[in-house]
Amino acid sequence: MKYKIIAAVLAAVFAVGMLAACQREKEPYPSYYDNTTSQPTASDMTGDATEPETTLPSTEFEPETSRPTEETAPSKSESESNTEPKTNSAVEPKNYSFKTLMLVNPTHSVPDGYVESITLEKVQGSYVMDSRCAEPMRDMIAAAKRDGITLQLCSTFRTYETQKKLYENRIKILMNRDSSLTYEQAAEKAYIKKQADEVSVIVMNPQNGELMAMVNYPEFNLNEPFTLIEEMGADGTESADKKQELLNRMWRNPCISDTYEPGSTFKIITAAAALEEGVVKLDDAFFCPGYKIVEDRRIRCARTTGHGAETFETGIMNSCNPVFMELGERLGAENFAGYFKQFGLLSKTNIDLPGEAGTIMHKTENIGPVELATISFGQSFQITPIQLVTTVSSIINGGTRVTPHFGVSVQDADGNTVKTFSYETHENICTAETSETMRYLLEKVVSEGTGKNAKIEGFSIGGKTATSQTLPRSDHKYISSFLGFAPADNPQVLVLVVINNPQGIYYGGTIAAPVAKEIFENILPYLDK
């Protein structure tokens, strides 16, 4: 046993020293609040935080610090490009030696001209190590064998070229596996490319709630449900209780059991409520200096330099936070909360799958000016992805609240339908006029605004991008998402892509919208335009 421990320690130290990629430099991001105070506790909010575990890490909300909500950056390199910018390593040594470490991560690439200068030796089978480590390792393996213990290496040194080839081959496999990219492949590709914690995709018919796909990646093998996947970090030494905890986490369906702060995709709901209440028109004038003062807070727009003069129409195209904070103020807390109920946000969707979590929202009496402002652009509360797509469906389909579902009918062995399922609907969630206006505005977001990376020539697509920050804020982790539908004037398919904790660039319009575009490219040819 002592040899196993020594080998494990030595291997861990060696991996850290040679790869130098275990640390991720946290990028500073300007705070959306110049002054911070504590946020409401879960007890001050509606919804059951104890129902299947949500992404809310504690009973208390973290201070509202550094909250990017949208990628309305003025530069093309940030908001229009799908390629990762080249960045220089924080350390640029002239001689890459054993004693010199480089930071290598998604924001610090291996510098051009890098040449590995170490001598490698085989240690066991095809496993290689730095020659200075190889001999001691062979001696330890031999000593253990003399004591009747067999040590088997499972991971050693991997060259830069080898790692590069493995990555490129995996991406090539995903791209060339078939002429069309399946939903699962799209999620897997995004997961690998962005080194994300997880990726979720929901594809639904917004007219009737029929779910075409629901994908969470990484996935587990349904034929071996008790086998932990590598991403769970299990090493086979877990206690029975720990293994069960990991299994429960692996089996979770984040699309229905996990809540998150939706960010700017929620602006669809804010805009619809404002239109329904009659407090805004398309040509209403606004001015964005880059922030809005709310009580003791200076709440910033994603474009800190401001959008300047804009209309409501251009405000939603720009995903401008001050515009939506103004809409929240015009609505008022009581009216806004009334629309949450009217739209069905405070009730479960009743999807035909177990484990659905409820919305975690401020109680109406606890919605002050600051809470009202942050709710308006999709922060300081939490909903499930399935709740978001269901609510948005009701807004864009003419005003009918549908029930999301997989079950359609039951057939016998001969293929005869013996039972057809029906699901509850609620009419007049919003007026047909509001629905039509929202479809028009969201089409503008894709054709001319922040969602242009989801645009497909020859098809009309509506949608909304979002970039929200997870709790605790101090971790600087983000959720990038895009919600889109097509055709824009008569939606037949709705797609939600959620990328949890992507590395490097994390703007929803830059990394989530292209994933949705790939999915649409495979669906839309089969739909009537």
201-229 pLDDT, tens digit per residue, is 999 999 999 999 999 998 888 888 888 88
Q: Around 409, how many Cα atoms within 13 Å sit in the side-chain half-sphere?
A: 8
Cα 487–chain centre separation: 24
How far is Cα 497 from Cα 484, in angstroms, rounded to an integer? 9
Q: Report the pLDDT value the prediction gives residue 77, as an integer from 0 to 100.
A: 36
Confidence of residue 100 (pLDDT cuts 50, 70, 90): low
pTM score over 0.75: no
Catalytic residue among 264, 393, 468, 481: 264
Buried-state track 232-261, b at ≥16 Cβ within 10 A, e below 16: bebeeebeeeebeebbeebebbbbbbbbbb
How far is Cα 135 from Cα 114, in angstroms, rounded to an integer? 27
Predicted confidence (pLDDT) per residue in 23-50, tens digit: 333 333 334 444 333 344 444 454 443 3
Tokens of 233: 């970090």
Q: Report the pLDDT value the prediction gives residue 173, as an integer from 0 to 100.
A: 54
Q: 310, 303 in Cβ contact below 8 A?
A: no
**Side chain identity at residue 149, one-letter code:** I
Dihedral sign for Cα 164, 167, 171, 177, please.
positive
Higher-confidence residue of 236 and 58: namely: 236
Task: Over range 42-64, report the average pLDDT.
Answer: 37
Task: Over range 508-520, report the average pLDDT.
Answer: 94
Higher-confidence residue of 280 and 44: namely: 280
Residue 264 a catalytic site member: yes
Q: 485, 495 in Cβ contact below 8 A?
A: yes
Predicted confidence (pLDDT) per residue in 138-158, tens digit: 899 999 999 999 888 877 887
Q: 504, 26 in Cβ contact below 8 A?
A: no
**Residue 416, C-beta contacts closer than 8 angstroms, at least 6 positions apart:** none
